[in-house]
Amino acid sequence: MSENTENTIATLSTHNINNPAQGWINGFLGMLIFSGSLPATRVAVLEFDPTFLTAIRAALAGILAVAALLIIKQKLPQRHEILPLAFVALGVVIGFPLLTALALQHTTSAHSLVYIGLLPLATACFGVIRGGERPKPAFWLFSILGSVLVAGFALSQGSGSSWLGDVLMVAAVLLCGMGYAEGAVLTRKLGGWQVISWALVISLPLTAVVTVLSAPSAWPVVSHAAWISLAYVSLFSMWIGFIFWYRGLAQGGIATVGQLQLLQPFFGLALAGLVLHEAIQLSMITVMAGVLVCVFGAKKFS
């Protein structure tokens, strides 16, 4: 490991101890930015093709990431870090945005946000696999109970969703959990914003080509709301949100600040109700409350 890398890790460790309050602020801002992702995607996907939306948001963020890495003169990742970065890209750059965009063609953002309540649990599960930990049996009990709550809610819904939308959201959460876990491991080596930036850069050749190939031959009339939503998911959800989120994790501690992610479904539901005027059912809030209990229990026994 180079001296510069060691100094970077030492600096992050110092921030971890000396700036817990700032870590909470940055983590909260990151979580708040992510809360608007699904409502914004819901607006954009009504007028943009899901494949085009996924590709262009990642391509635009990738261009910004390239500029930032060049301006700050970051060294290239080492060879053994390329594969983990590819997993991060698969999870949070391509997999989660594409699958949620496809799912939101078959369900509402309010319904899909119930599944986001499982993200901390999915991240913890992949963290167990990635880190080789041995959690207590109670961990798996809470994990299964949380999954049953969400599956039962999904099956009980008639309108506003479909089985395909539910399956796509489950797959999206699993991929995102994998990407978060891999990113958390890499953050200790590369730094927070560098992880998402390099993941975007690795994805850029693919996302740029897919953007060109999936672009509509004749551009339809697109509303201002759709353009604003595209700008939001490209700039904030795909890049800036991760900068605040990983900075918060580095300054305040991954386990501690990571709990802020549990608030994301509630802020997302509020945005879906206020911006999209979607109906927020009492059953959604009840299920998410149950999921939060399961997540807290799983974290305690992990």
Give pLDDT tens digits for 248-279: 776 776 655 766 777 777 777 777 777 767 66
Q: Is the dihedral of CA 2, 243, 250, 176 positive or negative?
A: negative
Helix (H, G, I), strand (E, B), or coil: what is residue 261? helix
How high is the pLDDT of residue 73?
86
Give pLDDT tens digits for 130-162: 756 576 788 778 878 877 777 677 666 555 567
Please give the Cα distance from 132 to 146 (Å, whole number): 22
Structure-token pair, residue 50: 């899901």
* pLDDT confidence band for 110 (50 / 70 / 90): low
Give pLDDT tens digits for 2-57: 444 444 443 444 344 446 778 888 888 998 898 888 788 888 888 888 889 989 99
Please give the Cα distance from 270 to 133 (Å, whole number): 36
Give pLDDT tens digits for 155-198: 665 555 677 888 898 899 999 888 888 887 787 788 778 899 99
Please give the Cα distance from 180 to 34 (Å, whole number): 13
